[in-house]
Amino acid sequence: MSTETTYLELSEDGGGSHKFYEVVVEGGTVTIRYGRIGESGQVKTSSFADLTRARAEAQKKIREKMRKGYEEAVQGVRQRRAVTRRVIQSVVSTASRAPVLWRFRSGASAFGIFVDEHKAMVGNEDGQIYTLALDGQVTRQYRLPDGVKCIVADDDWIYAGCDDGNVYDLSGKAPRVSYEIARDVDIYWLDIHDGVLGVSDAGGGISVFNHEDEFQWRRPGNGTGGWMVRCDDLGVYQGHSNGVTMYDWETGKELWHQSTKGGVLFGWQEAEAVYAGTVRNQVHALSKTGKPLKVYQCDASVYSCATSPDGRYVFAGDNHSSVYCFDADGTRLWKLGTGCGSAFSMQYRDERLYIVTTDGSLACIDASEAAIKAAQAGTVPQTRDIKAPKLDAILPSSTVETVAEAAGGVIVECYAAGSELRMRVVSPGFQQSWRVQFPKQIRTAGARYVVDEVRESVRGGFYRAYGDIRRLS
């Protein structure tokens, strides 16, 4: 049986995409292998009734990629593109140990964290994302093509920024690419607000992309190494080597800049303030108008910070594997060792401080007053080490299930608008002229799809598809 192989690559200058796509036809089977150049990539195999149908499907996939700029290439000529990764410097803490209730080791250094009332998530540099119940039970595993930079929430949507240059929506049955930004931006950190994406990059620049994944504006920034970006209704807040700068959402105009007298490594925000952890061992609290509010003093460089919802407590994690808690007025209440590396990211919820660390752990710390007093006195609970069950990792998907009827969902339609494919709602009761935020990779002109929900954006003017997506036959 003969084998027909087509190998394509997309490699762009200036920090853009550096990916391959291989299609192999053998009999009635089509095998597609794809990923970053220099890696083995992911593999998907599909079976067809005969060789003719398999070839037709293969040619369809190849044409789609070539329209996106892929070209035929010789495997092995290009080398893997370098990815900017955060330098890991972690020292074992000499402080008393924190009351860690449970700990899950993900297998690689972890930056991504997300916690809500039902679950906690960790994303690591191997591209793995695990979802755990708040008692530590592992319930789900995703696998992205490259390292996970961060996990962020935008209302009920959950997104993961990946080192392959894509941002994946984790809200459906499988991860789908929502934003493709590798052509222009080397992601350091990102945040999404009402469907609009803010990205801070390796060079200290800041970029904003609209809900259609279209470039809106970019500024070179006021420093280098933009590790912090936070977004709200007012604008975009970026932390970099020279402090924190705020930009207008629509125009990118700089609204204010505030020096932190030390490079910013991470940031947090609440309704009335933004918080920036720095290499100068401090967390700076700034008002949303740029006014300095308070400085919280730690003993080493601050990798991460967070607050309680009311801002009553401020937490920080340093590069000596310690975590801190401060009163809002700046008084240090405690400092304790994590026992599992330095906290690259953290989030507080319901008297629990969740951290992801340099050794890849997701740890749950009892931050209640009673537990902390006991820990300071030398009494801590026995930490439960969580073992992951054998789960099939959920991979990103660019295919959709086909169904015959809507079955209670909302119908949206893909249509051509010049050279672009747009989406609109065709179910009754919606604004027919509004566009719908919808994954670009699965759009086909003239096709109709069923989605679980369509929600109006907070600022109005467009809808956002939420949940699972099926194609109507």
Same domain membership, residue 316 and residue 205: yes
Predicted pLDDT at 15 = 46
Give the CATH number for residue 15.
2.20.140.10
pLDDT digits (tens, 9 = 90+) for 126-158: 999 999 999 999 999 999 988 999 999 999 999
State the virtual CA torsion across 20, 25, 26, 32 in degrees, nearest 10: 40
Residue 86 falls inside a structural domain: no
Using pLDDT thresholds of 50, 70 and 90, give the confidence band for residue 230. Answer: very high
Q: Give the DSSP per-residue string, 18-48.
A: EEEEEEEEETTEEEEEEEETTS--EEEEEE-
Same domain membership, residue 158 and residue 25: no
Q: Give the DSSP per-residue string, 306-358.
A: EE-TTSSEEEEEETTSEEEEEETTS-EEEEEE-SS--EEEEEEETTEEEEEET
Same domain membership, residue 414 and residue 299: no
pLDDT digits (tens, 9 = 90+) for 114-129: 999 999 999 999 999 9
- For residue 465, is pLDDT > 80? yes
Kindly give, in sequence order, each residue whose CB lies less than 8 Å from that of residue 370, ignoring residues fewer than 6 positions away: none
Same domain membership, residue 201 and residue 126: yes
Using pLDDT thresholds of 50, 70 and 90, give the confidence band for residue 180. Answer: confident
Predicted pLDDT at 310 = 80
**Structure-model confidence comparison of residues 291 and 94, the more confident one:** 291
Same domain membership, residue 434 and residue 329: no
Average pLDDT, the chain: 90
- For residue 170, is pLDDT > 80? yes
Q: What DSSP character marks residue 395?
A: P
Predicted pLDDT at 370 = 95
pLDDT digits (tens, 9 = 90+) for 387-431: 988 889 999 988 889 999 988 899 999 999 988 899 999 999 999
Q: How many domains does the chain have?
A: 3
d(CA 175, CA 434): 25
Unique residue bearing structure tokens 């930056």: 111
- Here the tokens at position 464 are 């956002």
Give the CATH number for residue 232.
2.130.10.10
Q: What mean pLDDT do residues 60-85 have?
A: 72
Q: What is the pTM of this model?
A: 0.81
Same domain membership, residue 259 and residue 288: yes
- For residue 99, is pLDDT > 80? yes
Same domain membership, residue 416 and residue 283: no
Same domain membership, residue 405 and residue 381: no
- For residue 10, is pLDDT > 60? yes
Residue 71: beta bridge partners? Answer: 9
Please give the residue range of the domain that contains residue 249.
100-386
d(CA 325, CA 315): 5
Which helix or strand (DSSP H or E) is residue 63 part of? Answer: helix 51-67
Residue 18 falls inside a structural domain: yes
Predicted pLDDT at 14 = 45
- Here the tokens at position 189 are 């950190």
